[in-house]
Amino acid sequence: MMLIACPHCGPRAHVEFDYGRTLDAILPLDAAPEQAAAVLYARDNPRGVSQELWQHTHGCRAWLVLTRHTVSHEISAVVPWVAATAAPRESGA
């Protein structure tokens, strides 16, 4: 059982959360068909550290970005999804 430290609610059992998808699998709204197929259906499926979107479904319902190891299940970072995406958006502007 994993303990996930929600930035809003504090540490909670992972049964309160739902795994969504890996961070590289977010579909841009204006994606071309080939890009959409790749984003939706092609996965690295890493054995090791991965960045994933989880939702605190049975808590604050926020989407979070977990940096998580897929063998040890160690969670090295949990940040709100907005914060995780804000940085590249700013630097791109």
Q: Give 34 or 90: the residue with its C-beta nearer to other proteins.
A: 34
According to the binding rule CB under 5 A, does residue 80 interact with Zn ion? Answer: no
Q: What distance separates the 2 farthest-apart alpha carbons in the chain?
A: 40
According to the binding rule CB under 5 A, does residue 56 interact with Zn ion? Answer: yes
Q: Dihedrals φ, ψ of 87, to 5°?
A: -60, -55
Q: Give 6 or 53: the residue with its C-beta nearer to Zn ion.
A: 6
The region of 33-41, 45-53, 60-68, 72-80 touching Zn ion under the rule CB under 5 A is 60-68
The answer to whether 63 and 20 have CB atoms below 8 angstroms apart is yes
According to the binding rule CB under 5 A, does residue 8 interact with Zn ion? Answer: yes
Bridge partners (DSSP) of residue 12 are: 4
The answer to whether 76 and 68 have CB atoms below 8 angstroms apart is yes
Which stretches of the chain bind Zn ion, using CB under 5 A?
6, 8-9, 56, 59-60
